[in-house]
Amino acid sequence: MADAAAAPPQYVLIIACADRPGIVHAVASFLLERGGNIVDSQQFGDRLENRFFMRVHFELPAASATDHPVDALREEFAPVAIDLAMAWKLIAVDAPFRTLLLVSRFGHCLNDLLFRWSTGALNIEVPAIVSNHRDFEPLARSYGIDFHHVPVTAKTKGAAEARLLELVDELDVHLVVLARYMQVLSDDCCRALVGRAINIHHSFLPGFKGARPYHQAHARGVKQIGATAHYVTADLDEGPIIEQDVTRVSHDLGPDQLVRAGRDVECQVLARAVGWHSESRVLLNGSRTVVFR
């Protein structure tokens, strides 16, 4: 127990700024002055856009934890960030992302995320689940999570989105995950959640739009199926991509078997995207992302 109590506090610093000499030196000097030790560091220079991205996982001596709590570290780093015109974030490694899960009537992604969360595989807290149906209220209750039924119709869509954004504020939510939430968010709602809402869809888009995409794919005799996790934007299913994956399928699989295979890929892709986001490994780069795996 004594060793655990003396464990050095760990933090993650992520930065994005115009590429120029001295950025790495400035960050390293800041950490050195405070006795910091770099556990892991990744960086990427986008030469096309002249942008620089960096993620640094570091620790401080245990004795300095009271002298350098995370709020104090932010204040101390602010002048460095201002000097180099950085967009940045500094958080404690073990600070979980408060994550609001949205679902409609397909529960495979929701069930998968809840299981991973309950086993400690995801660095998230789940204060609530929101759905436009009541199908998964018992599942939410089984995990001890508040369930909010927010019906959506053409007439109530505006009020439903307003309630969703109220919950984001009330619950101090850092991340919203559309775990097969089958409602199109308005432009205003997307703007309110920019960079902190993740959606999952089958990678047949835009080839197989609308209802029953796996049945459409079966009719076309596809040989692989997949899924894409991306940030939500006003452009439907065209937000910055975080993760994608595919699996090969055979001619002897029926439509229902394709659905099952597709759902497996969707679960895996969404879980990786949520995991990377909650570990501050995903940085927006215009219409693309930088993912430090």
Nearest to 264 by CA among 248, 280, 279: 248
Neighbours of 166 (CB within 10 A): 11
Nearest to 226 by CA among 181, 257, 255, 269: 269
pLDDT tens by residue, 251-286: 888 889 988 999 999 999 999 999 999 999 999 999
Residue pair 262/202 in contact by the 8 Å Cβ criterion: yes
| Residue-level pLDDT at 222 | 86
CA–CA dist 121, 111 (Å, integer): 14
Q: How confident is the model at residue 68 (pLDDT cuts 50, 70, 90)?
A: low
Neighbours of 131 (CB within 10 A): 25
DSSP state, residue 145? -
Bridge-partner residues for 128, per DSSP?
100, 146
What angle, 0 to 180 degrees and rounded to 10, lies between the N-to-C axes of helices 108-118 and 255-278? 40
CA–CA dist 282, 88 (Å, integer): 12
At 161, which helix (H) or strand (E)?
helix 157-170
Q: Is 187 a catalytic residue?
A: no
Cis amide bond preceding 255, omega within 30: no
CA angle 69, 74, 76 (to 5 degrees): 95
CA–CA dist 30, 43 (Å, integer): 17
Identity of the residue numbered 114:
L
Q: Which CATH architecture group holds 2-92?
A: 2-Layer Sandwich (3.30)
* The model's pTM: 0.92
Distance of CA 129 to the CA centre of its chain: 16
Residue pair 34/64 in contact by the 8 Å Cβ criterion: yes
Q: Which residues make up the CATH 3.40.50.170 domain(s) of the chain?
A: 97-291
Place of tokens 């309110």: 192
CA–CA dist 161, 167 (Å, integer): 10
Q: Mean pLDDT, to the nearest integer, of 215-234?
A: 89
The two structure tokens encoding residue 25: 């030196």
Q: Mean pLDDT, to the nearest integer, of 44-64?
A: 92
Place of tokens 């595919």: 246
CA–CA dist 254, 240 (Å, integer): 32
| Residue-level pLDDT at 183 | 93
Is the per-residue pLDDT at 4 higher than 60?
no
Catalytic residue among 19, 135, 237, 245: 237
pLDDT tens by residue, 14-42: 999 999 999 999 999 999 999 999 999 99
Identity of the residue numbered 5:
A
The superfamily in CATH containing domain 97-291 is Formyl transferase, N-terminal domain (3.40.50.170)
| Residue-level pLDDT at 263 | 94
